[in-house]
């Protein structure tokens, strides 16, 4: 809160970006499931040059409304819908993306088999989006959860990317099964 971040998740992304050397000035970033906006805030901060001018782009999408962030292009909608995807692609103007970040989490029911299927689905949606829109050397960072289905998610990612690593940032609570996957190098 002192730094003005909307959620503690900002520190998780910061650590992932630093560890993996992701995000450079001039990059195009898409933040899937962006609300409340802390990941977009971090991406914007990293792209800000002298005088706070953004060098690159941050496009944020969410089903929920998000308070505006200066220099971040926000779209409210579901990127699984053709019309929303078409609008996003129009904004990109054929440009490929350097980094896709996703802190999306499904609404969990407490039924582990149903929840792991939902988690897997959300990770796969982010991966499919990334496969279609990333530059060949681009990267994808997504939130996943250890548990049943996790190894399948990792395997699926490895089918599409040359390098897949797991990251458990220090800002993640110890008891949390939350883990982040960072995938790079699209396979053809």
Q: Answer yes or no: 170 catalytic.
A: no
How far is C-alpha 152 from the chain's CA centre? Answer: 19
Q: What pLDDT does residue 48 have?
A: 95
In the predicted structure, residue 66 carries a pLDDT above the cut 90: yes
Which structure tokens are listed for 95?
Answer: 């440009």
Question: Which of 34-48, 102-116, 136-150, 155-169 comes out lowest in average pLDDT?
Answer: 102-116
Q: Residue for token digits 């407490």?
A: 110
Given 25, 143, 158, 168, the catalytic residue: 143
3-state DSSP assignment of residue 57: strand
Query: What's the rounded mean pLDDT across residues 77-85?
Result: 93
Query: What's the rounded mean pLDDT across residues 52-72?
Result: 96
Among 94, 135, 142, residue whose Cα is nearest residue 120: 142
Query: What's the rounded mean pLDDT across residues 10-32?
Result: 97
């Amino acid at each position: 809160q002192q730094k003005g971040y909307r959620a503690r998740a900002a520190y998780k992304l910061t650590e992932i970006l630093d560890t993996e050397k992701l995000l450079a000035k001039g990059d195009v970033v898409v933040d899937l499931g962006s609300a409340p906006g802390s990941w977009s805030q971090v991406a914007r901060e990293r792209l800000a040059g002298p005088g706070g001018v953004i060098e690159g782009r941050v496009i944020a999408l969410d089903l929920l409304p998000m308070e505006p962030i200066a220099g971040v292009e926000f779209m409210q909608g579901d990127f699984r819908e053709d019309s929303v995807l078409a609008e996003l692609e129009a904004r990109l103007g054929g440009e490929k993306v350097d980094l896709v970040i996703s802190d999306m989490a499904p609404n969990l029911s407490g039924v582990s088999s149903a929840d792991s299927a939902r988690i897997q689905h959300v990770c796969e949606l982010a991966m499919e989006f990334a496969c279609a829109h990333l530059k060949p050397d681009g990267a994808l960072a997504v939130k996943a959860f250890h548990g049943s289905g996790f190894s399948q998610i990792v395997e699926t990612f490895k089918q599409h990317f040359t390098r897949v690593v797991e990251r458990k940032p220090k800002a993640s609570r110890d008891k949390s099964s939350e883990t982040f996957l960072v995938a790079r190098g699209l396979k053809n």
